[in-house]
Amino acid sequence: MADDGNEETRSGAGRAEDSEPSTGKAETMGLVLNLIVQTIVWFGFMGAIIFGAAGTTDYTGGWLYLGVMVLSSVVFGTIMARVDPSLLRERLKPPLQKDQPLADKLILIPILLLIFGGMGFMVADAARWRWSAMPSSVQWAGCGLLLAAMLFIYWIMRTNSFAAPVVKLQKDRGQAVITTGPYAIVRHPMYFGTLFYVAGTSLVLGSWWGLATVPILALLFGIRIGIEEQTLRAGLEGYDDYARRVRRRLIPFIW
For the chain, counts of helices (H) and of strands (E):
8, 0
Cα 235 from Cα 111, distance rounded (Å): 25
Q: How does pLDDT run across 199-253, given as a tens digit for each residue?
A: 999 999 999 999 999 999 999 999 999 999 999 999 999 999 999 999 999 999 8
Residue 164 has pLDDT above 50, yes or no: yes
Q: How does pLDDT run across 2-31, given as a tens digit for each residue?
A: 444 444 444 444 444 444 444 578 888 889
| The pLDDT of residue 185 | 96
Cα 146 from Cα 112, distance rounded (Å): 19
Q: How does pLDDT run across 101-129, given as a tens digit for each residue?
A: 999 999 999 999 999 999 999 999 999 99
Q: How does pLDDT run across 83-100, given as a tens digit for each residue?
A: 999 999 989 988 888 889
Residue (of 150, 166, 18) closest to 74 by Cα position: 150
Find out whether 18 and 84 touch, Cβ atoms under 8 Å. Answer: yes
| The pLDDT of residue 18 | 45
Confidence of residue 61 (pLDDT cuts 50, 70, 90): very high
Residue (of 50, 155, 168) closest to 108 by Cα position: 168
15 burial type by CB count under 10 A (0-12 exposed, 13-18 middle, 19+ buried): middle
Residue of higher predicted confidence among 14 and 195: 195
Residue 181 has pLDDT above 50, yes or no: yes
State mean pLDDT over 178-198.
96
| The pLDDT of residue 23 | 54
Give Dmax (Cα) for the chain. 53
Domains within the chain, CATH numbers bracketed: 25-245 (1.20.120.1630)
Helix axes 189-205, 60-83, angle to 10 degrees: 150
State mean pLDDT over 180-184.
96
| The pLDDT of residue 189 | 97
Cα 203 from Cα 143, distance rounded (Å): 8
The residues that bridge with 9 in the sheet, in sequence order, are 164
User: What pTM did the predictor assign?
Assistant: 0.86
Find out whether 87 and 165 touch, Cβ atoms under 8 Å. Answer: no
| The pLDDT of residue 24 | 77
Residue (of 232, 122, 121) closest to 176 by Cα position: 232
